[in-house]
């Protein structure tokens, strides 16, 4: 499959790994929008949040279980933001489900 994040998970494309287990891979965004900008992805290929179902939601659950661990390790005691962009109107550029973990500064109140 010609998927950038599948290649990163497989190690075919290098990345700055932050966390890994059997279901989840997390790495630093190549174009950080905040002092901490980590991408957290399922190891199974799901194109976006629109493909989450009862068959694969264990991957998403694991992602949200590890977010507090990653946030703590990254020193985000003052809070952070988790975002997933979905589809064209959501401005999703990489078609493998991913959650942006942003923090390390006071983030904007803007959501769009
Ligand atoms: P989105 O617009 O929500 O689909 O976010 C995709 C993010 O992926 C964007 O913030 C930049 C990041 N990105 C794109 N290509 C690479 C890459 O090759 N390596 C890393 N680490 N991040 C990438």
Tens-digit pLDDT string for the chain (112 aa): 799 999 999 999 999 999 999 999 999 999 999 999 999 999 999 999 999 999 999 999 999 999 999 999 999 999 999 999 999 999 999 999 999 999 999 999 998 8
Catalytic residue (choose from 37, 45, 96, 98): 98
C-alpha torsion sign, points 5, 17, 53, 82:
negative
Residue 92: predicted pLDDT: 98
Residue 64: predicted pLDDT: 98
Rounded Cα distance between 37 and 89, Å, is 22
- Kindly state if the Cβ of 91 falls inside 6 Å of ligand 1: yes
Of 12, 10, 4, 70, give the one whose Cα is nearest residue 36. 70
Rounded Cα distance between 112 and 109, Å, is 9
Q: Verify whether residue 96 is a known catalytic residue.
A: no
The per-residue DSSP string of 27-47 comes to EE-SS-SSSEEEEEEESS---
Q: What is the DSSP letter of 106?
A: P
Residue 111: predicted pLDDT: 86
Q: Which fold has domain 4-76?
A: HIT family, subunit A (3.30.428)
């Amino acid at each position: 499959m010609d998927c950038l994040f599948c290649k990163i998970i497989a190690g075919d494309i290098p990345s700055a790994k932050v966390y890994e287990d059997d279901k989840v891979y997390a790495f630093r965004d190549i174009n950080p929008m905040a002092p901490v900008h980590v991408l957290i992805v399922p190891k199974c290929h799901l194109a976006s949040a629109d493909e989450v179902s009862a068959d694969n939601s264990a991957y998403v659950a694991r992602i949200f279980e590890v977010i507090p661990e990653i946030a703590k390790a990254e020193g985000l005691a003052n809070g952070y933001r988790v975002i997933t962009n979905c589809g064209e109107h959501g401005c999703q550029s990489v078609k493998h489900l991913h959650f942006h973990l942003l923090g390390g500064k006071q983030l904007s109140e803007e959501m769009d």
